[in-house]
Structure 1
Amino acid sequence: MSRTHDYRGMFDAAGTRTVRRKQVPEVPAEPGLVVEDPATGFCGAVVSITGSEVTLEDRFGGRRVFPLRPAAFLHEGAPATLVRPAPRQAGRTLSASGSVHVANLKARTARAARIWVEGLHDAELLERVWGHDLRVEGVVVEPLHGVDDLAAAVREFDPAPHRRLGILVDHLVDGSKETRQARDAYRATPQAQHNVLVTGHPYVDVWQAVKPSVVGIREWPTIPRGTDWKTGICARLGWGEPADGARRVLGAVRSYRDLEAPMIGAVERLIDFVTAATSGEPDAGGANSAMQ
């Protein structure tokens, strides 16, 4: 049985074969954007850009200058053409979280409400991205150094309508010990159900909430159960000790664009929750309905 082929559109009127080129997107070279030069394998964040060149800095602090050519870089694994960012509108600057930056900010008096995170790295990450917003709202972030007895900590805090508590938890997935501890937190006091919000992200550690490309890797390695995750990551990637790894990971984060969506959503929900009490906003369905 013979096959027929449809050659329509493959040749022009003169009989010359038509070449269809895939459209390569143009990506604004904002400071901190991570790209790779496929010719050399150099991967780094944009430091500066001129009309003809872009300077990249890798995770070791090394810098290289590359010419700006069409489809010359890889962005998130796909070819891209880097272009100069559009000028920002005068008088309107965005913070690292994407909110409007408040000029000449004087931090307001801290609220009685708090946001708790598991450790120092979580607290530093929130400061790097949401620090401006937290000072505008007067919200203090405190590290818990683990959530092994979350219910007891909630009882000691004694949440109330004017003193709400938001808790960011790593690895908050069905069946995890963190999820069980979160449920216990809601039963810690009679006020906890409506004035405590436990939410989080699915990642084993807050480092994993940073996009791999931001730290110059294609993906986060899988670490066997029973091995300390940070220690295992540093060993697999040759990053030295966890303290060295923390400097690499946290130092690479410049804005919310460097984080995975679940992490961004969780922090935004916590900030909205703990600031709702004094602004007169209602509790949208109670804290239990918001736990993820």
Structure 2
Amino acid sequence: MAGILSVVGTPIGNLEDASPRVRRTLGEADVILCEDTRVTARLLSAFGLRVPLVRCDENVIASRVAHALERVEAGERVAFVSDAGMPGVSDPGQRLVDAALDAGLPVEVVPGPSAVTCAVAASGLACERFFFEGFLPRRHSAQLARLGELARVPGAIVCYESPHRVAATLSSVAEAMPGRRVALVRELTKLHEEVVRDEAAALAAEVAARDEVRGECVIVIAPPTAAELDERRRGAPPVPQSLDEAIDEGLAAGEPKSALAKRLAKAFSVPRAQVYDLVVATAGNDVAGT
């Protein structure tokens, strides 16, 4: 068979969600690139499969791309999976797919569950249009700044969060978007799947009162009303005309360099490392000029 890179979606909890095509593709692979070999080994064991595994997480993917493409070019079938869900969604897998396509190599996507779409469906909120944010910044100030930007999105907003930080993040949502309805979707497809909905402040208080929150969490924020959008647009600051201007504004506001780089990398679709270098250089120039 001709070589191919297969991007394979794996179950996010319930193993019965793996389609026959997912099992067949993994079983036919010459090698599986995965986020954590232990996690994928358990998945393969449940399917009764034995396939060589190679770690390919965010720390090493840059060094794995060239060899993976060589194997595809040599006629091998290379499968790529994350620990759960669709690779490339809030993980670095896009780099491998991008390189394969640039090299003119065949790439196929084998669909599987995704926490994003599952949470949107489970939330019951109006989600005709939604924006997937991934993980919000961890620092409170940077998180509030990003939520302030997202508040102007004319659709629902979907965020990932860890169980240890979800109460604090919900509190930030309540601060940035008071009155918005929010759904916390937890343990998707698992035995204790849960959907809790309320206005942001009430939901934040309910979650904070719990002794413990378990499982990976997805936060779905309802779209703004037309009145809220109009009010925010009237009070919105001018949109920066360039990345340089946005960096100047962030530094002037005292935003931490790392958080600023992460936020602007998303806003301008520029690699984070490149933005961070610009932030550091700009900050250095400002110091030298004083």
TM-score of the aligned structures, taking structure 1 as reference length: 0.27
Larger relative helix fraction: 2
TM-score of the aligned structures, taking structure 2 as reference length: 0.27
